[in-house]
Amino acid sequence: MGNKLWDKNFAGEGSAIGHSVQQTDDGGFIIAGSTRYPMGGEQHVWLIKTDASGNELWDTIFVGEWWSGGTDVRQTLDGGYIVSGYTNSSVSSYSDAWLIKTDESGNKLWDKIFGSETGDSASSVRETPDGGYIIAGTWAYGEGNSDVWLIKTDPSGNMMWDRTFGGEWNDQGNCIQLTAD
């Protein structure tokens, strides 16, 4: 009936934000978000794995080009994890979409950055039946200021195709779901 069974707090390097949580095959949870170093420092992607009671088993921080964050995480068929997010270049203040693949212990296997010369991001990711990934996000060069952006990758994270959808105003993609067909 909605009664709290437990709750947990996780302390990052400074301020911390959780953006996505998914239950894993072992009954535990995987959490993606960001942690920011104290005193106005940089923000980075933070991945946390817990057991079924929410006790932390491990955590890892992925350092982007300058300012970054994790927006979604999913367990993959191989037992690892795929994380979507964004990273900003230190050269400009604009973000790019960031895709990170890890093994079951959170060790980075590869990462890919997708984007233009202005603020793009990846908000949601799902594994596809061919072992690749489909990403929903925001493309800054839209009809208005931004459009919904879909990216399809192969199993190694290489872009196979991308599409944008939008009207004359700002549009953004926040979540993606595979359909039966």
Q: Which tens digit of pLDDT belongs to each residue from 13-29?
A: 667 778 889 999 999 99
- Residue 37 has a pLDDT of 67
Q: What is the average per-residue pLDDT within 89-108?
A: 81
Average pLDDT, integer, range 88-108: 81
Give the pLDDT mean for 67-83. Answer: 91
Q: What is the pLDDT of residue 40?
A: 56
pLDDT band at 149 (very low <50, low <70, confident <90, very high): confident
CATH topology of domain 15-165: Tachylectin-2; Chain A (2.115.10)
Say what percent of the chain tops pLDDT 70: 78
**Domain positions in the chain:** 15-165
Give the amino acid at 105.
Answer: S
Percent of the chain whose pLDDT exceeds 90: 39
Q: Which of 106, 101, 166 is nearest to 127 (CA)?
A: 101
- For the full predicted model, state whether its pTM sits above 0.85: yes
- Name the one residue in this structure whose structure tokens are 């039946």: 129
Q: Calculate the alpha carbon distances from 108 to 36, 60, 63, 68 in Å.
A: 20, 9, 11, 16
Cβ neighbours around 18 below 10 Å, total: 15
**Mean of the per-residue pLDDT values of the chain:** 82
> For residue 169, is pLDDT > 80?
no
Q: Residue 30: pLDDT above 90?
A: yes
Question: Is the pLDDT score of 155 beyond 90?
Answer: yes
